A and B are shown apart, each in its own frame.
Chain A
Amino acid sequence: MNVEDVDLRALVPQVLSVLIRRGADFATAEDAVQEALARAVPAWEREPPSDPKGWLITVAWRAFLDVARSEAARRDREARFDTEPPTGSVPGADDTLHLYFLCAHPDLTPSSAVALTLRAVGGLTTRQIAQAYLVPESTMAQRISRAKRTVAASGIDRLGDVRTVMRVLYLIFNEGYLGDIDLAAEAIRLTRQLASALDDPEVHGLLALLLLHHARRASRTGSDGRIVPLADQDRTLWDADLIAEGIAVLQAALARDRLGEYQAQAAIAALHADAQRVEDTDWVQIVEWYDELLRFADTPIVRLNRAVAIGEADGARAGLAALAEVDEHVPRRSAVAAHLHEKDGDLERAARLYADAARDAPNLAERDHQLRQAARLNQLLRLEP
């Protein structure tokens, strides 16, 4: 299946909902929908159906019946299902919504919830999900079938809450993209779909946040894969349409006056996106939004980023004072300390901290970036007597 064929994949949760509504169990129905998708590709190339959704429902239902009948035969019982499917009503937005919540089941681990969401709601194949997460296909297949068993065992009526659904989508977005699978774009598609079905300002805040981050993607890495920090990004590469959409979605959400974590994060992203040049950035307002964010999510990472913003709004010393309050062990603390000390003119200390940041970096691109920073300052220090 073509991964880009999102029109086809958008039908997945609807088709799955129909099967469940007709009495199919979640796990078998989910397999049946995947099989129908696999069959759709060669069949539709020969002859595109006039009603793609109807086609998928028919084929998936037959696939489900095959399994259900052989199961029933194995157990030496009558088949429970008639060949002719009962005429169920057309599934609405609520059915798709139900699937999101099912895949964010409280008994699932985050990695299982992510995998199940990508398959059952996103319509990705196990192989594609495995590629995206750099694990063997058999490992991912096991993770998904265990997840389905977990959901089945504790009952499909026990659902995750909207916070968990949003966290799952956020995790998917943050995976970015490796190879053919653009998980960031997929997370946006799924969040869009969720936002259209669920009238919750925080879901719209999440959508705005993802759009605003995605808009800057092209500028975030250089041609050789290196990290380009926000201050150095070529802002002409930012996607103005996505920024406009993100800001519009955010403003509509904020107007509802039910502020939350994702809306506050999106507001910060919007203020960055709004600055034509880095020196136009409204750091004072960004600090205010970090203070709001602290009310909902008082985490060391938020406090770390707030220290950066204070360093820009009120000067390096103020930033360092805010940093002193931040937990010593939070990731990237040395990188922030290095930046603030450099801004404060203490290049030797900054160079040492950049070297520390390189040692502690969570990925190679970041390690190389921090090494370049250390190398740059050490070169300056060698030139100055």
Chain B
Amino acid sequence: MAKYLLLKHYRGSPEAVNNVPMDRWTPAEVDAHVQFMNDFASRLEQSGELVDAQALSPDGMWVRSDVDGRPPVTDGPFAETKDLVAGWMVIDVDTPERAIELAAELSAVPGAGGEPIHEWLEVRPFLTAPPTVTE
């Protein structure tokens, strides 16, 4: 088993095929979208492949420590041009192919017109712990 991070972006990813802001959908389309997301997570839970799923607020900032004991330096809210992560799902799957398959399913979540959004998701393998047997 290997863990993968599926990252969804508010912005910064290549543009989705069906790219209509969510408040421009019909209420029924919003419902269908939410239902799909819930079903997807519970299916992965049942298959034993879900580790965690979280959504992030679009608010945030950059922070770094400053020199000479001065208070931390902050920069934000995020500029409109910056890449912005919306949320993630961590999955634990047998093969890289399975990770790609699940990301593609998730990307097909229905949006405006009930059509799949075809949004781009970032798929990142976790670095793993060193194996016990090394030779």
Q: Which residues of A contact B (CB under 8 A)?
A: 224-226, 351, 354-355, 358-360, 362, 364, 367-368, 371-372, 374-376, 378-379
B35 neighbours in A (Cβ, 8 Å): 224
The verdict on B23 contacting chain A, using a C-beta distance below 8 Å, is: yes
**Chain A's interface: helix, strand, loop or mixed, by majority?**
helix
Residue of B nearest to A356 (CB): B23
The verdict on B27 contacting chain A, using a C-beta distance below 8 Å, is: yes
Question: What would 22 A/B residue contacts be, using CB atoms closer than 8 Å?
Answer: A224-B38, A226-B34, A351-B23, A354-B23, A355-B21, A358-B23, A360-B57, A362-B57, A364-B55, A368-B30, A368-B34, A371-B22, A371-B30, A372-B27, A372-B30, A372-B31, A375-B22, A375-B25, A375-B26, A375-B27, A375-B29, A375-B30
A224-B38, A225-B38, A359-B58 as given contacts; A378 in contact with B30, CB under 8 Å: no
Taken together as a complex, chains A and B put the C-alpha atoms of A101 and B22 apart, in Å, by 48
Taken together as a complex, chains A and B put the C-alpha atoms of A225 and B34 apart, in Å, by 10
Residue of A nearest to B22 (CB): A371
The verdict on B24 contacting chain A, using a C-beta distance below 8 Å, is: yes
B27 touches A376 (CB 8 A): yes
B34 neighbours in A (Cβ, 8 Å): 224, 226, 368
The 4 closest A-B pairs by CB, nearest first: A374-B23, A355-B23, A375-B27, A376-B27
Taken together as a complex, chains A and B put the C-alpha atoms of A129 and B93 apart, in Å, by 30
Taken together as a complex, chains A and B put the C-alpha atoms of A376 and B29 apart, in Å, by 11
A226 neighbours in B (Cβ, 8 Å): 34
Q: Which residues of B (1-58) have their CB < 8 Å from a CB of A?
A: 21-27, 29-31, 34-35, 38, 55, 57-58
Q: Counting chain A CB atoms within 10 Å of each CB, which of B23, B25, B27, B58 scores highest?
A: B23
Q: Which residues of B (37-86) have their CB < 8 Å from a CB of A?
A: 38, 55, 57-59
Residue of A nearest to B21 (CB): A355
Q: A355-B21, A375-B30 are in contact. List 6 more A-B contacts (CB 8 A).
A: A360-B57, A362-B57, A371-B30, A372-B27, A375-B25, A376-B27
A368 neighbours in B (Cβ, 8 Å): 30, 34
Residue of B nearest to A225 (CB): B38
Taken together as a complex, chains A and B put the C-alpha atoms of A359 and B84 apart, in Å, by 13
Which residue of B24, B38, B57 contacts A375 across the interface (Cβ within 8 Å)?
B24
Residue of B nearest to A364 (CB): B55
Taken together as a complex, chains A and B put the C-alpha atoms of A222 and B77 apart, in Å, by 34
Residue of A nearest to B87 (CB): A364
A360 neighbours in B (Cβ, 8 Å): 57, 59
A224-B34, A225-B38, A368-B34 as given contacts; A375 in contact with B55, CB under 8 Å: no
Shortest CB-to-CB span from A351 to chain B, Å, is 7
A378 touches B55 (CB 8 A): no
Taken together as a complex, chains A and B put the C-alpha atoms of A378 and B31 apart, in Å, by 15
A374 neighbours in B (Cβ, 8 Å): 23
A375 neighbours in B (Cβ, 8 Å): 22-27, 29-30
Taken together as a complex, chains A and B put the C-alpha atoms of A48 and B2 apart, in Å, by 47
Shortest CB-to-CB span from B128 to chain A, Å, is 20
B55 neighbours in A (Cβ, 8 Å): 364, 367
A359 neighbours in B (Cβ, 8 Å): 58
A355 neighbours in B (Cβ, 8 Å): 21, 23
Shortest CB-to-CB span from A334 to chain B, Å, is 12
A367 neighbours in B (Cβ, 8 Å): 55
Taken together as a complex, chains A and B put the C-alpha atoms of A354 and B21 apart, in Å, by 13
